Amino acid sequence: MMRALVLALTFATPLIADETIVAGLSQSDVSITAGFDGQEILIYGAVRREAPPPPGPPMQVIVTVEGPSAPLIVRKKARRAGIWVNAESVSIDSAPSFYAIASTVPLADALSEIDNLRYRITIPRAIRAVGITSEAADAPAFVQALLRLREADGDYRLIEGAVSLTEATLFRTDVALPANLVEGDYRVRLFLTRGGRVVDWQEQLIPVRKAGLERAIFDLSREKPLAYGLLSVSLAILAGWGAAALVRLLRP
């Protein structure tokens, strides 16, 4: 009797789809060369299901691209005796060199604050600044200043509505990486959300490395700093001599 009841309930209840991400990138790596002026990455994929989409809020997609993080110090200048000097400063534990967010809809409609806190998706959440309130009177303003500066430089971007989603299954977006890339691994994260909650997420890495002459010069500066210094001085002297010779040649 009990077994028959369980079977009846099983067939009477609609299946709830397990939704997972299947995604790919147009670039598996990025090489920084002499003529490098940025790179556009195509991020695409699909939502895999074993059953029809569940009822309720529609599916949304959020994509983040994060560059290597590093600690830094944010300083505030003040005018003292007619001279601008560094006054207060705070230490940021970790801040991404580059961070871009693309989404299907405004981020506030696609992500709850609980899951934003859990997965550190938005730009302010990606910055780790533990204990800065004890370093300055208005410490949070330093973090806001950092955000404004990097947003103005194009290093931090929020591109709402840039992810296209077709029939709640196929999605794609393009993220432009700037010319001033920091070398390292760039983390691409993709999130599926419903009602602001993360249903599934996936992470992939894009290695960014110097190549060609830039790689050789970089390796020389790290492995043989004395030779690198002598080469730099020699090139500076040669450039100065060449400029002086050109001026003498053009002088009437």
Q: Are residues 218 and 205 located together in one domain of the fold?
A: no
Based on its alpha-carbon atoms, the radius of gyration of the chain, rounded to whole angstroms, reads: 26
Residue 167: CB atoms within 10 Å: 8
Query: Per the domain annotation, does 4 fall within a domain?
Result: no
pTM of the model: 0.76
Q: Are residues 88 and 172 located together in one domain of the fold?
A: yes
Q: Which of 175, 184, 179 is nearest to 209 (CA)?
A: 184
Identify the pLDDT of residue 12.
40
Helix axes 225-250, 213-223, angle to 10 degrees: 130
Q: Are residues 48 and 145 located together in one domain of the fold?
A: yes
Identify the pLDDT of residue 33.
83
Measured CA to CA, the distance from residue 196 to residue 114 in angstroms comes to 9
Q: How many CA atoms lie within 13 A of 215 on its CB side?
A: 9
Per-residue pLDDT band at 2 (split at 50, 70, 90):
very low
Quick check: 40 pLDDT over 90? Answer: yes
Query: Per the domain annotation, does 3 fall within a domain?
Result: no
Q: Are residues 111 and 149 located together in one domain of the fold?
A: yes
Residue pointed to by tokens 């830039």: 214
Q: Are residues 98 and 216 located together in one domain of the fold?
A: no
Query: Per the domain annotation, does 7 fall within a domain?
Result: no
Quick check: 215 pLDDT over 60? Answer: no
Span of 34-43, 49-58, 204-213 with lowest mean pLDDT: 204-213
- State how beta strands 30-32 and 197-210 pair: parallel
Query: Per the domain annotation, does 128 fall within a domain?
Result: yes
Measured CA to CA, the distance from residue 63 to residue 104 in angstroms comes to 9
Cα–Cα distances in angstroms (integers) from residue 138 to residues 126, 128, 165, in the given order: 20, 17, 41
Q: Are residues 221 and 181 located together in one domain of the fold?
A: no
Identify the pLDDT of residue 123.
94
Query: Per the domain annotation, does 245 fall within a domain?
Result: yes
Identify the pLDDT of residue 227.
59
- In degrees and rounded to multiples of 5, residue 121 shows phi and psi of -90, -45
Query: Per the domain annotation, does 20 fall within a domain?
Result: yes
* The 39-48 sheet, strands edge to edge: 20-25, 39-48, 170-177, 164-166
When divided into structural domains, the chain yields a total of 2
CATH number at residue 129: 2.60.40.3880
Write out the residue range of the structural domain in which residue 101 sits.
13-210
Torsion, Cα 143 149 155 160, to 10 degrees, reads 80
Per-residue pLDDT band at 192 (split at 50, 70, 90):
very high
pLDDT in tens, 90-149: 888 999 999 999 999 999 999 999 999 999 999 999 998 776 766 677 778 888 989 999
Quick check: 150 pLDDT over 80? Answer: yes
Centroid of chain to Cα 136: 28
Residue pointed to by tokens 């299947």: 22
Residue of higher predicted confidence among 35 and 146: 146
Quick check: 246 pLDDT over 80? Answer: no
Q: Are residues 196 and 235 located together in one domain of the fold?
A: no
Three-state DSSP class for residue 121: coil
